[in-house]
Amino acid sequence: MDFEQNDNLSSGHTSDSPGAIGADLSEPVKPAGQVPKGTSGWKIFWGIVLALSILANIALFLMMMGLLMFFTTSQRDAFEEGVIREGPRSAKIVVITLEGVIHTEQAKDVYEQIRSARQNKHVKGLIVRINSPGGTISGSDEIYNEIRKYRREEEKPVVAFMQGLAASGGYYASVACEKIVAEPTTITGSIGVIFGHFILQELLEQKLGIQPVIITSGPKKDWPSSFEPITEEQRQYVQDKLISPAYDRFVEIVADGRPMLSLDDVKRLADGSIYGAEEARDVQLIDEIGYLDEAIELVKSLAGIEKAKVIEYRRHISLASFLSARSRNVLSIDRDKLYELSMPQILYLWSAY
């Protein structure tokens, strides 16, 4: 009896306990905590990959910072020469570009191009290529002054080349040049001044329920105002203080730049009319009708040279200039912008533009 009970207990223990004497010994027993073979090798491999990745990212970051510093510290007003017509390097004609509505930034760009031409001893003359409806009075006058200053100080010929449109302030800049050549399809003229501003009173008071409060030290301090209709007295005030002086200067500038025209001739032409190329030549607002090649030949003739390399200045593309251009293109309405939009403006601008 006792032996049978012991046998039963042994058999029961064997079936319930995997580590018993009767267990299958064909599978090796793995000690607890032991890492399988091959796992440590993969850990080393991925550790090396991670370290290399970190080093590569650090190197890339340092390289990007270096490029960022290089581009942002480079001169934004630096130019490179673009060749328009091949020729000897010892004799160059520079094409200065004036394009779009004239404003302070446009005048600054023309100034920088002329300054680059001053620094090149091989430059024999300039062509001012104009495609503009005009713009602000100050911007137009600044460009005019820079061209006249270059002619006076460098004693080199400057020819205006009208390409498509050179009206109002565009013509103002043209008469600073010694000669004027216009393409056959050019629109020019529009000698005169235009003034305009918005009357916001009805919009603010009746549509939006806004009542402006303006306190001035004198009755003419806010003439003309965007918050009330303009009166005849205010019209005459603007005419006497703004329109007439600007108009008189424009007429004098044209008479000085076109000596074949008397002051009375210019006043007769300066009624704001636009002129095609042929009509402008007939009334002596321009000298020739032609294309860029004719303007080049005219500069060579005035400079007394037979051959020349014709170049233009192209601005270097830098990160700073790119970001600046992007920021200008983003629509931003702030207090200064609202003030600029509501402020009356007096312009040398062809209004049809």
Active site residues: 168, 221
Residue 151 carries which side chain, given as an amino acid letter? R
**Burial 165-186, CB ≥16 within 10 A → b, else e:** bbbbbbbbbbbbbbbbbbbeeb
Look-up: residue for tokens 């500069």? Answer: 299
On whether the CB atoms of residues 346 and 246 are closer than 8 A, the answer is: yes
